[in-house]
Amino acid sequence: MKITKWDAQAAEDIGHAFGYYDYGQETGMGVFYSSKEAVANYIAGYVRMAFEGQMLYATSERGEGYIAYTLPGQKINLKAGMAILKALFHNMSLKEMICMGKALSKGGKSLQDRMKKEKKDFIFVGMVCVREQYQGQGYMRKVLDMAFSEGNRLHVPVILETDAKSKCDKYMHLGMELEGVRDMGAYGKMYDLIKYPD
């Protein structure tokens, strides 16, 4: 279901789930931020952007799991753009942003960038989250199935990128294929995944 009413607590919960994710021995994107709390606050801002852009969905009214995705041709409106800029500048220093930009550039072009350049249609998943109290109960599959169903309906692939092998493995278990790995050196890796329509 599409989210039509703002829920600040849900945004905070989603931010916390991302900000305090246990990477184990891996290096995730959080390395670019000054603290786990900064990551959590940024993600809460990303949720606000997804809500304002009408691309935030949940498994049910209880909000066990959330997903943010854009359909082919869908653009981010001004209100959504302002929300993500606010989140970025409130939670990262200019130095941290430059460092992240350089690391991402070192890793090479993302699948999203390559598909845009080739003018191919796709659904881009920008965020997948199951709130911590509902994890391990099958909601990740339900969340992804929302995007997969849209991909099947529109006959386009669903793509996403993630910053940890542990997350990548979960997505592959749920039906996605690993399309490529971008090596950012000391800053870890980014994993590009795709699910072709059935």
29 has a pLDDT exceeding 90: no
Domains for the chain: give ranges and CATH numbers. 8-195 (3.40.630.30)
* Predicted pLDDT at 98: 94
- CB-count exposure of residue 135 (10 Å: 0-12, 13-18, 19+): middle
Write the secondary structure of the chain as one string of H (helix), E (strand) and C (coil): CECCCCCHHHHHHHHHHHHCCCCCCCCCHHHHCCCHHHHHHHHHHHHHHHHHCCCEEECCCCCCEEEEEECCCCCCCHHHHHHHHHHHHHHCCHHHHHHHHHHHHHHCCCHHHHHHHCCCCCEEEEEEEECHHHCCCCHHHHHHHHHHHHHHHHCCCEEEEECCHHHHHHHHHCCCEEEEEEECHHHCEEEEEEECCC
Confidence band, pLDDT 50/70/90 cuts, at residue 103:
very high
Q: Mean pLDDT score of the chain, rounded to an integer?
A: 94
- Please compute the mean of the pLDDT values over residues 161-185 and round it to a whole number: 96
What global pTM score does this model have? 0.93
Confidence tier at 38 by pLDDT (50, 70, 90): very high
Are residues 184 and 102 in contact, defined by beta-carbon separation less than 8 angstroms? no
pLDDT higher than threshold 90 for residue 27? no
Beta carbons of 188 and 163 less than 8 angstroms apart: yes
Name the phi and psi angles at 25, rounded to 5: -85, -5
Report whether 67 contacts 127 (CB < 8 A). Answer: yes
Does 26 score more than 90 pLDDT?
no
Judged against a pLDDT cut of 90, whether residue 69 lies above it is answered with yes
Record the tokens describing residue 140, joined without a space. Answer: 């990740």
**pLDDT at residue 159, rounded to an integer:** 98
Cα 34 to Cα 43: distance, rounded to the nearest angstrom: 14
Nearest to 179 by CA among 111, 107, 119, 106: 111
Q: What is the pLDDT, as a whole number, of residue 83?
A: 93
